[in-house]
């Protein structure tokens, strides 16, 4: 039974299933899970003695595989917050870590600011998008990032510039003991209908090319330089391949879908199988884009 830990931390719970908190719908039990609603709640908790190491940060659970053996220590789950989202002077938008990337894209369109449309097609929250410099359709977060707010283990928040974060393809340099809690986006004014039309086009393309109606975690592998992981996977004949309840998507070979009965072990085994087969057939070493955390069962 999941219960509150104490009156001082009503959002701290014990023995929490992670499967409902990941987009693959798999994963074991988190020993402890803290779900703040505000940045102030998060800062106070980190500064309290109630935190148990190790810390695992989870947003909306995309781009993440939690093993069936679950997670030790404390999970910080930002799915429900912090979620402040506001327009600031000079065409800047501040979005806290728990806001979904799609919501950020809609908000920017509502205030007639262009540049964030690609976020509409990225699953998960802006905190995770920051951590991996998420991108789609030829754009990435680094293109519009003015800066980011980081929080440390004592709950202190500071501002970091893009140069400090050393953003590169699907990665950002996060200093040890600090985590992303907000993004500051630098955008440009544009006609709202033009922004909406561009967003509709991107979402239509996503619907046509990705398995959006099946449980998945987004792209599984990073694209190697000058090539596409999906092309390499498909060339090895793995499109549609299954491992237990996990399947290489027929829609897009760089997606693994959970057909309903899949486990984290099924998915991880399929990831390893894909990597091995692509390496043997092409000599290319595919690098996973998804983060794999937790214990073996």
Catalytic residues: 170, 219, 289
How far is residue 54 from each of residues 84, 175, 201, 252, 294, measured CA to CA in Å?
27, 16, 42, 35, 11
Contact 239, 233 (CB under 8 A): yes
- If DSSP codes are grouped into helix, strand and coil, which group holds residue 132? coil
Contact 18, 35 (CB under 8 A): no
CA 87, distance to chain mean position in Å, is 23
Contact 14, 41 (CB under 8 A): no
CA distance 185 to 183: 6
Cβ partners under 8 Å of residue 131, min gap 6:
172, 174, 180
List the strands of the sheet with 29-34, edge to edge. Answer: 4-6, 9-17, 29-34, 71-77, 55-58
CA distance 258 to 217: 9
Written as six digits, the tokens of 137 are: 């359709």
**DSSP letter for each residue of 238-268:** -TT-EETTEEE-SS-TT-EEE-SS--HHHHH
List, in sequence order, every residue forming a beta bridge with 4; answer none if it has no partner.
Answer: 13
């Amino acid at each position: 039974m999941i219960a509150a830990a104490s009156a001082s931390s009503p959002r701290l719970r014990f023995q929490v299933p992670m499967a409902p908190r990941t987009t693959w719908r798999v994963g074991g039990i988190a020993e402890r899970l803290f779900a703040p609603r505000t940045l102030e709640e998060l800062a106070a908790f980190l500064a309290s003695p109630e935190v148990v190491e190790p810390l695992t940060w989870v947003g909306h659970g995309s781009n993440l595989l939690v093993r069936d053996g679950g997670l030790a220590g404390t999970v910080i789950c930002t799915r429900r917050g912090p979620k402040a989202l506001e327009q600031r002077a000079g065409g800047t938008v501040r979005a806290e870590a728990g806001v979904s990337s799609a919501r950020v894209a809609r908000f920017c369109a509502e205030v007639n600011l262009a540049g964030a449309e690609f976020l509409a097609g990225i699953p998960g929250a802006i905190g995770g998008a920051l951590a991996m410099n998420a991108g789609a359709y030829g754009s990435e977060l680094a293109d519009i990032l003015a800066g980011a707010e980081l929080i440390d283990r004592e709950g202190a928040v500071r501002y970091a510039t893009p140069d400090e974060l050393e953003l590169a393809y699907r990665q950002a340099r996060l200093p040890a003991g600090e985590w992303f809690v907000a993004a500051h986006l630098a955008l440009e004014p544009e006609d709202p209908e033009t922004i909406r039309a561009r967003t509709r086009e991107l979402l239509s393309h996503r619907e046509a090319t990705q398995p959006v109606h099946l449980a998945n975690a987004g792209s599984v592998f990073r694209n190697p330089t000058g090539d596409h992981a999906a092309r390499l996977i498909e060339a090895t004949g793995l499109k549609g391949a299954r491992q237990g309840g996990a399947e290489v998507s027929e829609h897009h070979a760089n997606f693994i879908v959970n057909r309903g009965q899949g486990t984290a072990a099924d998915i991880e085994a399929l990831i390893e199988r894909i990597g091995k087969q692509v390496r043997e057939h092409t000599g290319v070493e595919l690098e996973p884009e998804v983060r794999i955390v937790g214990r073996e069962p």
